[in-house]
Amino acid sequence: MAQSSTEAASAYEQLLTKYKRIANVENAGGILSWDQQVMMPDEGTPARSQQMSALSALGHELLTDDEFGELLEAAEADDPTDEQADVLRELRRDYERAVRVPNDLVEKISAASSEAIPAWKQAKAEDDFEEFAPHLEKHVELKRKYAEHIDPDRDPYEVLFEEYEPCLPLEQAEEILAEVREVLVSMIEDIRESDTELAVDAFEGEFAADEQEALARDALSTLGYPWDRGRLDTAPHPFSSGTQFDARVTTRYDESDPLGSLFSTIHEFGHALYTLGLPDEHYATPLGEDRDLSVHESQSRLWENHVGRSRAFWKHFLPTFTEHFSAVDASVEEAYEAANQVYEDNLIRVEADELTYHLHIVIRFELERALVSGDLAVEDVPEAWNDKYEEYLGIRPETDAEGCLQDIHWAYGNFGYFPTYSLGSIMAAQLFDAAAADIDGLDEKLSDGEFGELRTWLRENVHQHGRRYETNDLVKRATGDDFAADAFLDYVESKYGELYDL
Ligand code: CO
């Protein structure tokens, strides 16, 4: 027998090969999920649910396999390079979380969600919290157990938060959100008392969906979306998903609200651009995967708020808008004001503006912390919810459908997810400031429709690193400072101070 011409693969290489299989199984599940939300005929659900749970079980089996654990240990002991050490840190974290939770608990949570989702839908439709309460109770109980398996010695909410933010300390997140809450509550009060009237009717009327789609395509092309690695489709709840080779965007069209759909398209573009900026050569390994939810959301919010809602963008884009909708007769200033109005009496998170949005998040964050710790009983959620809306936003929901039943997240038992939305927006402000400091005349470039340098800055400072750096490290390398609320607070104070003459 001839000797093998290649050396035996190292533990690290074998481990990476195993991980690639897991990542590919997950990515295949992502495509099935995209299809379910965008293309699949209504009756496809029973088969699709089985296909997706089979892939998810397979991924879990591959990750929790004894051999994966052994290879991980061997690779860690094998004098890894810096890059390998970063990858091993990520794989160790994924592995530990996966092996500590028993399969039957994962199945129970998944079964509880399958029952809770239709119950939540019905409870919301009938404005009947009691219908949903036992399901929420069950999720709280199961998720406490889940956290206990991962780490019995820590605050269970902290452990659950790490599911979405694996390397951002909860304490830091909590401080940032408390600081933002304090400033926003009083700003929103001042705005309510201000006499300044913004040009809120710049985009009133009927806007045909097919023309809005043409506009969305123009917006994506303008911002630099590579159509050979993406698509635009419609979905009831817009999202983006995929890999660096194929990152797709979805949106929805409301004929009375063209800005809503445009900003949702730009938001999802930001998510897709992050995914597309992950290095091709590291596909299906931690260096070719996104960091976490707050970093992802920082990318979508940066494009949506700091670009899409800026004067500079409207200087460039208003003529494109009126090419599609010639009845709109707004100046750049009017378009800017309409895009940045604050809705003082909005109860619904997904319809909120850039400012009140964060109080919607803070309320959910505070309530779910109290729920998980046991300080708040499930039956008291509606009252506690309404009290907080009154305290922070000065409005009180009249129904639970418009109150604590509005979002689906708790029906999935997702506790710890909401704060990532705000953290992402706050991070976006810090990153945009740093980009503006590095790029000469960024504002002018944006008004000239030149978005390339901003895309490149984001790719170099954020996207291309994948999961190489932990969140704080990534932010510090990109901006020179620790992740904090300062840039965001400066941004909202200067922007809304000017808009509302505060
Ligand atoms: Co998003």
- pLDDT, tens digit (0-9, with 9 covering 90-100), for 457-482: 999 999 999 999 999 999 999 999 99
User: Is 250 exposed, middle or buried, given 0-12, 13-18 or 19+ CB atoms closer than 10 A?
Assistant: buried
What are phi and psi for residue 240, nearest 5 degrees?
Answer: -135, 145
Residue-wise pLDDT for 230-244, tens only, equals 999 999 889 999 999
In the block, tokens 């089979």 appear at: 54
What is the mean pLDDT of the segment spanning 278-282?
Answer: 98
Residue-wise pLDDT for 377-391, tens only, equals 999 999 999 999 999
Q: Distance (Å, rounded) from C-alpha 264 to C-alpha 249? A: 10
What is the pLDDT, as a whole number, of residue 201? 87
Q: Please give the distance, rounded to the nearest whole angstrom, from the Cα atom of residue 1 to the centre of ligand 1.
A: 57
Phi-psi region of 6 (alpha: psi -120 to 50; beta: other; left: phi over 0): beta
Q: Please give the distance, rounded to the nearest whole angstrom, from the Cα atom of residue 300 to the centre of ligand 1.
A: 6
User: Is 6 exposed, middle or buried, given 0-12, 13-18 or 19+ CB atoms closer than 10 A?
Assistant: exposed
Q: Please give the distance, rounded to the nearest whole angstrom, from the Cα atom of residue 297 to the centre of ligand 1.
A: 5
Q: Is 7 annotated as a binding residue?
A: no
Residue-wise pLDDT for 427-443, tens only, equals 999 999 999 999 999 99
Q: Please give the distance, rounded to the nearest whole angstrom, from the Cα atom of residue 267 to the centre of ligand 1.
A: 6
**Predicted confidence band of residue 6 (pLDDT cuts 50, 70, 90):** low
What is the mean pLDDT of the segment spanning 46-55?
Answer: 91
Instruction: Please check the confidence at residue 120 and state whether its pLDDT lies above 90.
Output: yes
Which of the residues 268, 289, 334, 368 is marked catalytic?
268
Name the token pair of 86. Answer: 């970063």
What is the pLDDT, as a whole number, of residue 203? 92
Q: Name the E strands within 376-487.
A: none
End-to-end CA distance of the chain: 84
**Predicted confidence band of residue 5 (pLDDT cuts 50, 70, 90):** very low
435 three-state secondary structure: helix
What is the pLDDT, as a whole number, of residue 135? 97
What is the pLDDT, as a whole number, of residue 202? 87
What is the pLDDT, as a whole number, of residue 344? 83
Q: Please give the distance, rounded to the nearest whole angstrom, from the Cα atom of residue 275 to the centre of ligand 1.
A: 13
Q: Please give the distance, rounded to the nearest whole angstrom, from the Cα atom of residue 146 to the centre of ligand 1.
A: 26
CATH fold of the domain at 170-499: Neurolysin; domain 3 (1.10.1370)
What is the pLDDT, as a whole number, of residue 74? 98
Q: Name the E strands within 244-281.
A: 246-251
Residue-wise pLDDT for 179-224, tens only, equals 999 999 999 999 999 999 898 888 999 999 999 999 999 999 999 9
- 131 noted as active-site residue: no
What is the pLDDT, as a whole number, of residue 8? 83
Instruction: Please check the confidence at residue 7 and state whether its pLDDT lies above 80.
Output: no
Contact 392, 363 (CB under 8 A): yes
Q: Is 139 annotated as a binding residue?
A: no
Q: Please give the distance, rounded to the nearest whole angstrom, from the Cα atom of residue 440 to the centre of ligand 1.
A: 28
Q: Where are the domains of the chain?
A: 5-154, 170-499
Q: Distance (Å, rounded) from C-alpha 486 to C-alpha 136? A: 36
Residue-wise pLDDT for 344-381, tens only, equals 889 999 999 999 999 999 999 999 999 999 999 999 99
Contact 338, 202 (CB under 8 A): yes
Q: Distance (Å, rounded) from C-alpha 315 to C-alpha 377? A: 51
Q: Please give the distance, rounded to the nearest whole angstrom, from the Cα atom of residue 193 to the centre of ligand 1.
A: 31
Q: Which residues surround ligand 1, an ion (CB under 5 A)?
A: 300
Is the pTM higher than 0.85? The answer reads: yes
